[in-house]
Amino acid sequence: MKRKFVLFFAAVCALLPEVLQAQGIKAVRINEVLVCNDSGYRDAYGVCGSWFELYNTGVKTLSLGGCYLTNDTNNKKKYRIPKNAQDATLAPGAYAVFFAYNEPSRSPFHVNFNLTDTGLLQGGRAYLALYDQSGKELIDSVSYVVSVQRPNISFGKLEGVADAQWQQLETPTPRAMNHFSNDMSRAEIYQQKDPHGWIITLTSMSVVFLLLVIIASVFKGTGSYFKKKARKADASAKGAAPVKKPAAPVSGDMDDEVTAVIAAALHLYQNDCHEVEDNGFNLQRTFNQPSPWANKVLNFRRTPIRKN
């Protein structure tokens, strides 16, 4: 049992760095980009500017504070997200929208560059990237051709898909799940995310096994508790003074009445108080013996009295 526990603990320790890394800031992804925004999503100032969306793909709450955003491959630290920025913390499955029309003084979610800058890359391409708090490690990036972007049509990825491809969104979905078609149902979206059913299978099996582990732990803990309680009761019983059992009667013992009769007989025998008869005697109880009053024969006379 101990060996199995040691092996299980070693496996958990081996997988722990990967799990922690997966649940870190690297779980954030660039999810949707709208370059030409003429009459769509507006910021708090009523401006329809270019914007892009970040999405937390992990299951742990993450903070974007201290990370860097840039549109220049030579300047990785072009815009730093303030650490004390309000709403910079992303819950699992949450979104953060940044406006990119070079007005960083308006809020922490307004960056100091434009998404339409084409002079930084060749071929009329633009670039957008997210770096970690050190400004050295790339978290996610995307490049696109500015000239092919149409007004109020964004491009994005499906959430929860590892190798999802960028696709155009006829209807932009800031702070919401991406839809690639207005007629697409939620079931179809999940089918695109998980075409073979592995994600839902692993999720459901994980829930089932977790419940089994919890139930087994509860039963094992309950059994251990009652076993300990029984052992304590046995130890207390062994330490207590033994209870004296009543002595079993000896097979030769007699009742008090029999003993008294024998003692009286011996007393009479020792004091010579009994009658001696030659022929012996028998004691016999007589039932229904008539009394002299009831015996009419005793009232008869030999000579009857005549009355004149």
In the structure, what pLDDT confidence band is assigned to residue 4 with cuts at 50, 70 and 90?
Answer: low
pTM of the predicted protein model: 0.54
Token reading at 261: 């009769």
Distance in angstroms (rounded) separating the CA atoms of residues 270 and 260 = 15
Q: What is the mean pLDDT of the chain?
A: 79
Domain layout of the chain by residue ranges: 27-184
Q: What is the pLDDT of residues 56-95, one digit of tens each?
A: 988 899 999 999 999 998 999 999 999 988 889 999 989 9
Residues 6+ away with beta carbon under 8 Å from 26 = 132, 139
231-253 mean pLDDT: 67
Determine the pLDDT at residue 69. Answer: 96
Q: What is the pLDDT of residues 17-36, one digit of tens each?
A: 444 444 589 999 999 999 99
CA angle 32, 35, 38 (to 5 degrees): 115
**27-184 topology per CATH:** Immunoglobulin-like (2.60.40)
Q: What is the pLDDT of residues 180-212, one digit of tens each?
A: 655 555 566 666 666 777 777 888 888 888 899
Determine the pLDDT at residue 181. Answer: 58
In the structure, what pLDDT confidence band is assigned to residue 304 with cuts at 50, 70 and 90?
Answer: low
CA angle 289, 293, 296 (to 5 degrees): 90
38: alpha, beta or left, given left = phi > 0 and alpha = psi -120 to 50?
Answer: alpha
Determine the pLDDT at residue 18. Answer: 42
